[in-house]
Amino acid sequence: MSDLTADAVATEHPGAPAGGNPTAPGGGRTVATAVPRSLVDRLATGVTATAEPNVVETVAPLTGERLAGLPQSTPADVEVAFQLARRAQAAWAALPVRRRAAVLLRFHDLLLKRQDEVLDLVQAETGKARLHAFEEVLAVAMAARHYGRAAQGYLKDRRRGGALPVLTHTVEARRPKGVVGHISPWNYPLELCVGDLLPAFVAGNAVVNKPDTQTALTGLWARELLIEAGLPADLWQVVIGDGPVIGPAVVEHADYVSFTGSTRTGREVAQRAAARLVGASLELGGKNAMLVLSDADVDAAAAGAVRACFSSAGQLCISIERLLVHRSVADRFLERFVARTRALRLGGGLAYGADMGSLVSARQLETTTRHVEEAVKAGATVLTGGRARPDLGPYFYEPTVLDGVTPEMAVCAEETFGPVVAVYRFDTEEEAVAAANSTPYGLNSSVWTRDLRRGRAVAARLRTGTVNVNEAYAAAYGSVAAPMGGMGDSGLGRRHGADGILRFTEAQTIATQRLMPIAPSFGLDDKQFAAVMTGGLRALKALRFK
Ligand code: NAD
């Protein structure tokens, strides 16, 4: 444990040019003052847990000090949560969509107004830099605005061509699934909790949410804010506990499961959902590649690569862990990229100013350290970084660039989920595309070129759910009207856009038959009916009916 306060620990890391980077101001506030016991106690009342629950302690990654004691729910509590949610859902679903959407729009305004409160919580629970915490506010506000404004369009009844033109009146309607079981990880506790839940709510569902215990306060804060914006309190139930203990109970009762986390756990969740014949969307891991083509703006690409690799200290599912650079620009690119990486200010102040914060836990630090040490032992070179920084806080690790990584090294194909990137050189576009597509994952990628048409053509050949041209990840992720998610081992289903809300609905077709049945009638026998229908089918095709 470190005895540092969360204030003013930003520093350049060794290897940076002398002269120093400014220290991030923390406004004199510590984690203890920003997240007082009274706030924790108030938020904890939002957890569905028995009267005498077990209490689990969490730790602030920035400093290693105690953060909160949180009540743990049991599988029986999960059952109670579903009962309460189910009861609240019926009345909520009966409201017109516009009334539900108004809650999201009010939430948007409240979130922007009170963002400092949640920025403190996100930093305290995850250890990330404030700028990276703000990205969560940005993403959630965008989702609130989009679904607040667009939900009516997504959910409205749609006329469809009937079985028989004129005689069959057909409408496709969208019904809420009921109670959604939502299991979320620790790395983006605001966005991957409430950000994903907004479309579920506006579609008329209730939710039982199991956040990661480490970051539960952020979700509980968002729940309070959404209730203030008009959400009925029982509609969003929060249960907290060990994933393998209460996670299966959530899946057991849910009408639909939305899961974000590792591929390993995702497979387990998918199997449980499949056994119950309920749908699931799975947002899983990645080993994302960035391609710097021969005609890239090397300065812009180097700055973009820093954002791509080190946002939230690399604990971002869409962050870049493989940099593929055309040999002709590799030296120029690397010189700039490494210099920018060296100049990053590491810090843990509860204020803007640091460029990168801490890892979240000993587990993340261990994986990061192991990937780098194993690679170095097997012959890789550290271009910058490559070591933990216990002087800053218990889980800090320097942003690290590796060269000479080969396939037998774990860091080559396994997700590190830390501030580590490996650089590879390529000679042809063909080679770069093949290398980018060479892992079982398929989450995000990034292509840098001055020729935008070429960038989009290369993008079309990449097997990832999102591709950013001349941006790291924010262009695609921030395009909330378009789907975002993974191919291959990176998942199933999509958040954002139409997919992101329709997954929380059941399609229902209501077809009304008029004047005559679709069966022999008006004195036609079976054979005559078949002949009339055969003629009818030919006519419909000739008339270009769809
Ligand atoms: P994890 O799979 O260990 O945990 C995720 C959640 O699942 C937690 O709430 C955990 O308590 C719960 N859980 C654990 N075991 C469970 C079980 N048997 N049944 C049900 N729930 C269970 O993942 P993590 O380490 O918390 O998160 C990091 C991973 O998440 C990384 O692989 C990252 O790439 C991925 N991720 C993906 C996205 C995306 O959008 N694709 C976003 C963020 C993180």
Q: Tell me the per-residue pLDDT of 369-397, one tens digit each, with 9 for 90 and over.
A: 999 999 999 999 999 999 999 999 999 99
Lowest-confidence range among 8-22, 302-316, 319-333? 8-22
Closest atom of ligand 1 to CA, residue 317: 34
Which residue CA neighbors atom 9 of ligand 1 most closely? 212
Nearest CA-CA partner of 72 in 237, 187, 242: 242
Contact present, 43 and 222 (Cβ < 8 Å): no
317 is known as an active-site residue: yes
Give the DSSP H/E element, type plus range, for residue 236. strand 236-238
pLDDT of 5 over the 80 cut: no
Q: Higher-confidence residue: 8 or 430?
A: 430
Q: What integer is the mean pLDDT of 194-220?
A: 98
Interval 124-142: pLDDT, tens = 999 999 999 999 999 999 9
pLDDT grade for 8, boundaries at 50, 70 and 90: very low
Half-sphere exposure of 437 (CA within 13 A, CB side): 14
Q: Mind spelling out the 3-state secondary structure of 326-378? A: EHHHHHHHHHHHHHHHHCCEECCCCCECECECCCCCHHHHHHHHHHHHHHHHC
For ligand 1, say whether the CB of 443 is within 6 Å of any of its atoms.
yes
Using alpha carbons, list the distances in angstroms from residue 402 to 283, 320, 323, 525. 28, 13, 10, 78
Ligand 1 centre to CA of 260 (Å) is: 5
What are 143's strand-pairing partners? none
Interval 161-204: pLDDT, tens = 999 999 999 999 999 999 999 999 999 999 999 999 999 999 99
Contact present, 419 and 382 (Cβ < 8 Å): no
Q: Which of 65, 125, 283, 415 is catalytic?
A: 283
For ligand 1, say whether the CB of 140 is within 6 Å of any of its atoms.
no
pLDDT grade for 26, boundaries at 50, 70 and 90: low
Which residue CA neighbors atom 20 of ligand 1 most closely? 247
pLDDT grade for 7, boundaries at 50, 70 and 90: very low
Ligand 1 centre to CA of 262 (Å) is: 4
Ligand 1 centre to CA of 443 (Å) is: 15
Out of 70, 213, 260, give the residue to mutate to test ligand 1, the one with the largest number of ligand atoms within 8 Å of its CB: 260
Instruction: DSSP for 105-117, please give it.
Output: HHHHHHHHHTHHH
pLDDT of 22 over the 80 cut: no
Which residue CA neighbors atom 35 of ligand 1 most closely? 261
pLDDT of 17 over the 70 cut: no
Ligand 1 centre to CA of 184 (Å) is: 6
Closest atom of ligand 1 to CA, residue 363: 25
434: which residues sit within 8 A by CB, 6+ positions away? none
Cα(316)–Cα(303) distance, integer angstroms? 17
Which residue CA neighbors atom 10 of ligand 1 most closely? 243
Q: Average model confidence (pLDDT) for the chain?
A: 94
Q: What integer is the mean pLDDT of 55-67?
A: 95
pLDDT of 52 over the 90 cut: no
Q: What integer is the mean pLDDT of 69-98?
A: 97
Give the whole-number percent of the chain exceeding pLDDT 90: 94
Contact present, 483 and 278 (Cβ < 8 Å): no
Ligand 1 centre to CA of 517 (Å) is: 52
Ligand 1 centre to CA of 181 (Å) is: 14
For ligand 1, say whether the CB of 415 is within 6 Å of any of its atoms.
yes
Closest atom of ligand 1 to CA, residue 265: 2
For ligand 1, say whether the CB of 210 is within 6 Å of any of its atoms.
yes
For ligand 1, say whether the CB of 75 is within 6 Å of any of its atoms.
no
Predicted confidence at residue 4, as pLDDT, reads 32
The alpha carbon of residue 210 and the mean position of all alpha carbons in its chain are separated, in whole angstroms, by: 15
Predicted confidence at residue 27, as pLDDT, reads 58
Out of 265, 281, 444, give the residue to mutate to test ligand 1, the one with the largest number of ligand atoms within 8 Å of its CB: 265
Predicted confidence at residue 29, as pLDDT, reads 83
For ligand 1, say whether the CB of 125 is within 6 Å of any of its atoms.
no
Q: What integer is the mean pLDDT of 421-425?
A: 98
For ligand 1, say whether the CB of 491 is within 6 Å of any of its atoms.
yes
pTM of the model: 0.94
pLDDT of 11 over the 80 cut: no
pLDDT grade for 14, boundaries at 50, 70 and 90: very low
Predicted confidence at residue 50, as pLDDT, reads 87
Q: What integer is the mean pLDDT of 217-222?
A: 98
Out of 212, 288, 318, 319, give the residue to mutate to test ligand 1, the one with the largest number of ligand atoms within 8 Å of its CB: 212
Which residue CA neighbors atom 43 of ligand 1 most closely? 317
Q: 473 by DSSP, 3-state: which?
A: coil
Q: Higher-confidence residue: 119 or 19?
A: 119
Using alpha carbons, list the distances in angstroms from residue 152 to 155, 210, 444, 507, 524. 5, 28, 30, 15, 45
Q: Higher-confidence residue: 51 or 257?
A: 257
- Tokens in use for 318? 């869409």
Ligand 1 centre to CA of 168 (Å) is: 47
- Tokens in use for 283? 């947002």
Q: 463 by DSSP, 3-state: which?
A: coil
pLDDT grade for 3, boundaries at 50, 70 and 90: very low
Contact present, 431 and 439 (Cβ < 8 Å): no
- Tokens in use for 482? 């378009």
Q: Which of 252, 317, 398, 415 is catalytic?
A: 317
For ligand 1, say whether the CB of 321 is within 6 Å of any of its atoms.
no
Cα(386)–Cα(384) distance, integer angstroms? 7
193 is known as an active-site residue: no
Ligand 1 centre to CA of 245 (Å) is: 14
Give the count of beta carbons closer than 10 Å to the beta carbon of residue 94.
Answer: 9
Predicted confidence at residue 330, as pLDDT, reads 98
Interval 448-490: pLDDT, tens = 999 999 999 999 999 999 999 999 999 999 999 999 999 999 9
pLDDT of 98 over the 50 cut: yes
pLDDT of 13 over the 80 cut: no
Ligand 1 centre to CA of 73 (Å) is: 18
pLDDT grade for 23, boundaries at 50, 70 and 90: very low
Predicted confidence at residue 19, as pLDDT, reads 27
Residue 290, classified by CB atoms within 10 Å of its CB into exposed (0-12), middle (13-18) or buried (19+), is: buried
Interval 335-368: pLDDT, tens = 999 999 999 999 989 999 999 999 999 999 999 9
Tracing tokens 């009010």 back to the chain, one arrives at 106
Cα(291)–Cα(470) distance, integer angstroms? 10
pLDDT of 424 over the 50 cut: yes
For ligand 1, say whether the CB of 265 is within 6 Å of any of its atoms.
yes
pLDDT of 219 over the 50 cut: yes
**Identity (one letter) of the amino acid at 117?**
E
Predicted confidence at residue 393, as pLDDT, reads 96
Structure-derived torsion over alpha carbons of residues 135, 139, 142, 144, reported in degrees to the nearest 10: -130
